[in-house]
Amino acid sequence: MTDRRQFIQQAGLLASAAAIGGLTPSIARAQNAKIRVGMMLPYTGTYAALGTAITQGFNLAVEENGGMLGGRAIEFFTVDDESEPSKATDNANKLVQRDKVDVLVGTVHSGVVMAMVKVARDNSTLLIIPNAGANAATGGQCAPNIFRTSFSNWQPAHPMGKVMYDKGHRKVVTLTWKYGAGEESIESFKEAFTKAGGSITKEMYLPFPNVEFQPFITEIASLKPDAVFVFFAGGGAVKFTKDYAAAGLKDKIPLYGSGFLTDGTLEAQGASAQGLLTTLHYGDGIENPKNKLFRYNYGKKYGIQADVYAVQGYDAALLLHGGLNAVKGSFGDKKALYGALEKVKIDSPRGPWTMSKAHNPIQDIYLRRVEGNANQVIGVAWKALEDPARGCKMSAA
Amino acid sequence: MEWLIQILNSVQYGLLLFLVASGLTLIFGIMGVINLAHGSFYMIGAYLAFTLSSLTGSLWIAIPLGIVLAAALGLALEWAFISRLYRRDHLYQVLLTFGLILIFEELRSIIVGDDVHSVAIPAALAASLPLTETLSYPVYRLFISAVCLALAGLMYVTIQKTRFGMMIRAAASNPEMATSLGLDIRWIHALVFAAGVALAAFAGMIAAPVSSVFPGMGNQVLIVCFVIVVIGGIGSLKGALIAALLIGFADTFGKVLLPDYASIAVYLLMAVVLLFRPLGLFGRA
């Protein structure tokens, strides 16, 4: 059905062009065709809310540009990846090989994104990652055609090492799930904290996604460190802050975390999260006109508050728009397009940021304090933080 | 002192696991039905506690209401689906109950959404007991343990000492003979299934204030429940209680003493038990 409609549209264009003054060159005609954008995100399962926020953010940016990116209209192809790594390669191939998308956008889950990275590398398809933080995507597996508009797992946790040292903490216990994002976050925190002069009393791990924290809380109470740093998200984050407060530790041994500990979960955490300090690349109350406008428009259009995921989706569309604008909307010269994408300066609601050599945002990481149901930004924990991109060797596309 | 508290943690976790697993071992042992959807009933219980306590304003009203609703759901499911599978192979039961998991997860997503929620601890039990100078123990956790012990006793008395319990045991050990003696097996099966669902939902409701309420919570407890049923011996409540406590200890001390191998501690325990007692601790051939 779409094919026939497209054919009629193109035939119409052709006819009018011929009527005006001979056939236009075929390249120009190709640029009038719609950009094929493949959205591969979770729309069901645990991360459904994140996938939806990213999509809404992306769509808002498209709408603000009059329904176009880089001067070209868009045709969406959508796949629900269910955050299921075992189906990830097939799903990405569907979009790349069957739907022949020009650009692949996704996803939330780090395991799924690594499969997308492989497909994008094998087919030289442009990939824009609007969330998943796996360091390798812009580290060991980096490539000219792979860009990220969110963060690397290394980024949000790193500044907390400095923050906690400056607060006078010298001996710290860490706790997280034994899986990619958790381990990469703790590793990065540890790097900054020990470099500042602090020491890690004990690194504790529990299997993902186990939430029986009581043995660790008992151990923390008997180790009596100066402070605790954790990485948890979602249901685990809620249960951990509640268990920690119920054990009476909240006021005795301060708890810190990377921002995911308190993002999107504050209502459920209630009093147990009040006053906690976390670090992330976004937060509530960032004072810039772009953020105000973005939050207003997002709230008006979708009826809910924008969150960090919406921002990342919004920025993914801004990146594509900026890059395509610089090359007159053409996917023809890949090298020129990737070069242009590298140079785009994103005027993001989180504050302006630029692409690193490895294609990950160089961005400010904010220090936030939980106040009521908001992660209030109280300062910049690290200005223009760049991921070290370990193991990244850019080869030709 | 730390070790005493870790023992308390083990017992407390073990008792809660027993409460969830007891319904599974009942359904498995008496009806011979492998019920993969057991974790979903736990999840449904937690969401009922969240929804009903925000509607009524009290967990104490939400729990009895939730038990009635869960038992009704159990009766309906038994009548509509499970009763057709008693004479079939276990594989059909696995397929059907797996389908139920998917349906319940989607329904949860549609009705309540994918956000994480919490249920407030009732004011009367919201206090904490100071154990050391830094650590306190929430009274509600101790309350859960007491409830689990009381329920274990109640189940034991019901099954071993009452006339209804005798009928259940008869139906489990020899259904044909029980039927020819005039027992209505179908009715007993329906009641046992409803009781199993209600037990799982009750566990979810009473655990909701400490576990919080989130998508996928049912699948997390399902596997450990099956491990408990297998270690304890299929259908044995006493076995399930001892197995649940063993798992509580293995999990807690595994995390503290061998953190790198904590994820396999529970399965290692199962493997060792099955090596010496292939039918589980209290299993009968």
Q: Test B9 with A215 for CB contact under 8 angstroms.
A: yes
List CB contacts (< 8 A) between B135 and chain A. Answer: 217-218, 221-222, 247-249
For chain A, the distance separating the N- and C-terminal CA atoms, rounded to the nearest angstrom, is 34
Ranges A63-77, A91-105, B96-110, B114-128: which has the least confidence: B114-128
Going by pLDDT thresholds of 50, 70 and 90, the confidence category of residue A32 is: low
Q: What mean pLDDT is predicted for residues A249-264?
A: 95
Count of C-beta atoms within a 10 Å radius of residue A229: 28
> Is B126 part of any domain?
no
- Share in percent of chain A as helix, strand, coil (round to 5): 45, 20, 30
Rounded-to-10 torsion of CA A93, A99, A103, A106: -50
Contacts 24+ apart (CB under 8 A), B178-185: none
Q: Give per-residue pLDDT as tens, B177-193.
A: 999 999 999 999 999 99
Q: Are residues A86 and A145 in the same domain?
A: yes
| Largest distance between two CA atoms of chain A | 84
Supply the range of the domain harboring residue B179.
2-121+135-276
Please report, as a single letter, which amino acid is at residue B38.
H
Please give the tally of structural domains in chain B: 1
Q: What mean pLDDT is predicted for residues A31-42?
A: 89
Listed in order, strand segments (DSSP E) in chain A are 35-41, 68-69, 72-80, 103-105, 126-129, 146-148, 171-177, 199-206, 227-231, 255-258, 277-280, 345-346, 353-355, 361-371, 374-385
- What is the 3 state secondary structure string of B156-180? HHHHHHCHHHHHHHHHHHCHHHHHH
Please report, as a single letter, which amino acid is at residue B234.
I
List CB contacts (< 8 A) between B138 and chain A. Answer: 246-247
List CB contacts (< 8 A) between B252 and chain A. Answer: 212, 214-215
Q: What mean pLDDT is predicted for residues A137-154?
A: 96
Q: What mean pLDDT is predicted for residues A245-261?
A: 95
Q: Are residues A172 and A105 in the same domain?
A: no
> Is A160 part of any domain?
yes
Question: Is it the case that residue B227 has pLDDT exceeding 90?
Answer: yes
Count of C-beta atoms within a 10 Å radius of residue B113: 12
Q: Which of A178, A196, A167 is nearest to A255 (CA)?
A: A167
Average pLDDT of chain B, as a whole number: 92
How many Å separate Cα B252 from the centre of its chain? 19
Per DSSP, the three-state class of A25 is coil
d(CA B19, CA B2) in angstroms, rounded, equals 26
Q: What mean pLDDT is predicted for residues A219-240?
A: 94
A223 touches chain B (CB under 8 A): no
Per-residue model confidence (pLDDT) at position A65? 94
Q: Which residues contact A233 (CB under 8 A, 6 or more apart)?
A: A181, A260, A261, A263, A265
Question: Is it the case that residue A95 has pLDDT exceeding 60?
Answer: yes
Q: Are residues A207 and A99 in the same domain?
A: no
Query: What per-residue string of b and e applies to B8-46 under the rule 16 or more CB within 10 Å gives b?
Result: bbbbbbbbbbbbbbbbbbbbbbbbbbbbbbbbbbbbbbb
List CB contacts (< 8 A) between A252 and chain B. Answer: 134
List CB contacts (< 8 A) between A52 and chain B. Answer: none
Per-residue model confidence (pLDDT) at position A26? 43
Q: Are residues A179 and A231 in the same domain?
A: yes
Question: Is it the case that residue A201 has pLDDT exceeding 90?
Answer: yes
Q: Test A211 with B13 for CB contact under 8 angstroms.
A: no
In chain A, the residue whose alpha carbon lies closest to the alpha carbon of B133 is A221
A6 touches chain B (CB under 8 A): no
Nearest CA distance, A366 vs chain B (angstrom) = 24
> Is B129 part of any domain?
no
Q: What mean pLDDT is predicted for residues A84-110?
A: 94
A372 touches chain B (CB under 8 A): no
Please report, for the domain that includes residue A241, its CATH number: 3.40.50.2300
Nearest CA distance, B237 vs chain A (angstrom) = 24
Q: Test A215 with B255 for CB contact under 8 angstroms.
A: yes
Q: Give per-residue pLDDT as tens, A290-326.
A: 999 999 999 999 999 899 999 999 999 999 999 999 9
Q: Are residues A206 and A133 in the same domain?
A: no
A214 touches chain B (CB under 8 A): yes
| Largest distance between two CA atoms of chain B | 65
Contact (CB, 8 A) for B245 and B203? no
Q: What mean pLDDT is predicted for residues B168-185?
A: 89
Q: Decide the pairing of beta strands A199-206 and A72-80.
A: unpaired
d(CA B128, CA B136) in angstroms, rounded, equals 6
Q: Give per-residue pLDDT as tens, B138-154.
A: 999 999 999 999 999 99
Q: What mean pLDDT is predicted for residues B42-55?
A: 96
Contact (CB, 8 A) for B223 and B267? no
Place of tokens 């008792």: B15
User: What does the DSSP assignment read for A274-292?
Assistant: TT-EEEES--BT---HHHH
List CB contacts (< 8 A) between B118 and chain A. Answer: 238, 242, 268-270
Q: Test A206 with B259 for CB contact under 8 angstroms.
A: yes
Residue A41 token pair: 């995100």
Q: Test B118 with A222 for CB contact under 8 angstroms.
A: no
Per-residue model confidence (pLDDT) at position A169? 97
Q: Give per-residue pLDDT as tens, A348-370.
A: 999 999 999 999 999 999 999 99
A215 touches chain B (CB under 8 A): yes
Q: Test B130 with A248 for CB contact under 8 angstroms.
A: yes
CA angle B268, B270, B272 (to 5 degrees): 70
Percent of chain B at pLDDT exceeding 90: 73
In chain B, the residue whose alpha carbon lies closest to the alpha carbon of A215 is B252
Q: What mean pLDDT is predicted for residues B36-50?
A: 96
Q: Which of A254, A276, A250, A251 is nearest to A263 (CA)?
A: A276
Contact (CB, 8 A) for B219 and B225? no
Please report, for the domain that includes residue B213, its CATH number: 1.10.3470
Please report, as a single letter, which amino acid is at residue A260.
F
Residue B34 token pair: 């492998």
> Choosing among B1, B16, B117, B118, which should be mutated to test the A contact, i.e. which has the most A CBs within 10 A?
B118
Rounded-to-10 torsion of CA B219, B222, B227, B228: 140
Residue A393 token pair: 């060797």
Q: What mean pLDDT is predicted for residues B75-104?
A: 93
Residue B113 token pair: 């959404």
Query: What per-residue string of b and e applies to B160-196 under the rule 16 or more CB within 10 Å gives b?
Result: eeeeeeebbebbbeebeebeeeebebeebbbbbbbbb
Nearest CA distance, B67 vs chain A (angstrom) = 24
d(CA B123, CA B145) in angstroms, rounded, equals 18
Per-residue model confidence (pLDDT) at position A19? 42
Q: Give per-residue pLDDT as tens, A231-244.
A: 998 888 999 999 99
Question: Is it the case that residue A272 has pLDDT exceeding 50?
Answer: yes
Q: Are residues A40 and A80 in the same domain?
A: yes
A218 touches chain B (CB under 8 A): yes
Going by pLDDT thresholds of 50, 70 and 90, the confidence category of residue B229 is: very high
List CB contacts (< 8 A) between B144 and chain A. Answer: none
Nearest CA distance, A63 vs chain B (angstrom) = 27
Average pLDDT of chain A, as a whole number: 90
A49 touches chain B (CB under 8 A): yes
Residues facing A284 on adjacent strands: A376
Nearest to B13 among A214, A235, A246 (CB): A214
Per DSSP, the three-state class of A175 is strand
d(CA A15, CA A373) in angstroms, rounded, equals 58
> Choosing among A218, A224, A242, A309, which should be mutated to test the B contact, i.e. which has the most B CBs within 10 A?
A218
Q: Test B113 with A49 for CB contact under 8 angstroms.
A: yes
Supply the range of the domain harboring residue A318.
34-151+286-362
Rounded-to-10 torsion of CA B4, B10, B14, B16: 80
A374 touches chain B (CB under 8 A): no
Q: What mean pLDDT is predicted for residues A380-391?
A: 96
On the 0-12 / 13-18 / 19+ scale of CB atoms within 10 A, B274 is middle
Question: Is it the case that residue A22 has pLDDT exceeding 50?
Answer: no
Query: What per-residue string of b and e applies to A319-353 under the rule 16 or more CB within 10 Å gives b?
Result: bbbbbbebbebbbeebeebbebbeebebebbbbeb
Q: Which of B251, B143, B7 is nearest to A246 (CA)?
A: B143
Q: Decide the pairing of beta strands A227-231 and B136-138.
A: unpaired
Q: What mean pLDDT is predicted for residues B81-99?
A: 92
Q: Which of B217, B228, B20, B235 is nearest to B101 (CA)?
A: B217
Per-residue model confidence (pLDDT) at position B114? 79
Nearest CA distance, B108 vs chain A (angstrom) = 10
Residue A269 token pair: 């955490």
> Is B190 part of any domain?
yes
Nearest to A219 among B136, B220, B256 (CB): B256
> Is B221 part of any domain?
yes
Nearest CA distance, B57 vs chain A (angstrom) = 16
Domain end point (choices A218, A250, A280) = A280
List CB contacts (< 8 A) between B214 and chain A. Answer: 234-235, 238
In chain B, the residue whose alpha carbon lies closest to the alpha carbon of A47 is B114
Q: Are residues A49 and A121 in the same domain?
A: yes
CA angle A383, A388, A390 (to 5 degrees): 170
A329 dihedral zone (left: phi>0; alpha: psi -120 to 50; beta): left
Question: Is it the case that residue A12 has pLDDT exceeding 80?
Answer: no
In chain A, the residue whose alpha carbon lies closest to the alpha carbon of B256 is A215
> Is A367 part of any domain?
no
Say what angle helices B237-257 and B2-31 make with each other, to 10 degrees.
140
A371 touches chain B (CB under 8 A): no
Please give the tally of structural domains in chain A: 2
Count of C-beta atoms within a 10 Å radius of residue A106: 28
d(CA A56, CA A73) in angstroms, rounded, equals 17
A253 touches chain B (CB under 8 A): yes
Q: Are residues A53 and A145 in the same domain?
A: yes
User: In this complex, how many residue pairs, one in chain A and one in chain B, have their CB atoms less than 8 Å apart?
Assistant: 117
- For CA atoms B226, B228, B233, B239, the dihedral sign is negative
Per-residue model confidence (pLDDT) at position A14? 43
> Is A381 part of any domain?
no
Question: Is it the case that residue B24 has pLDDT exceeding 60?
Answer: yes
Residues of B with CB under 8 A from a CB of A: 1-2, 5-6, 9, 12-13, 106, 109, 113-118, 120, 128, 130, 132, 134-138, 140, 210-217, 220, 251-253, 255-256, 259-260, 262-263
d(CA A346, CA A367) in angstroms, rounded, equals 21
> Choosing among B20, B214, B252, B263, which should be mutated to test the A contact, i.e. which has the most A CBs within 10 A?
B214
d(CA B266, CA B147) in angstroms, rounded, equals 24
Q: Test B216 with A209 for CB contact under 8 angstroms.
A: yes
Nearest CA distance, A141 vs chain B (angstrom) = 28
> Is B127 part of any domain?
no
Nearest to A224 among B134, B211, B260 (CB): B134
Going by pLDDT thresholds of 50, 70 and 90, the confidence category of residue A31 is: low
Per DSSP, the three-state class of B113 is coil
List CB contacts (< 8 A) between A240 and chain B. Answer: none
A243 touches chain B (CB under 8 A): yes
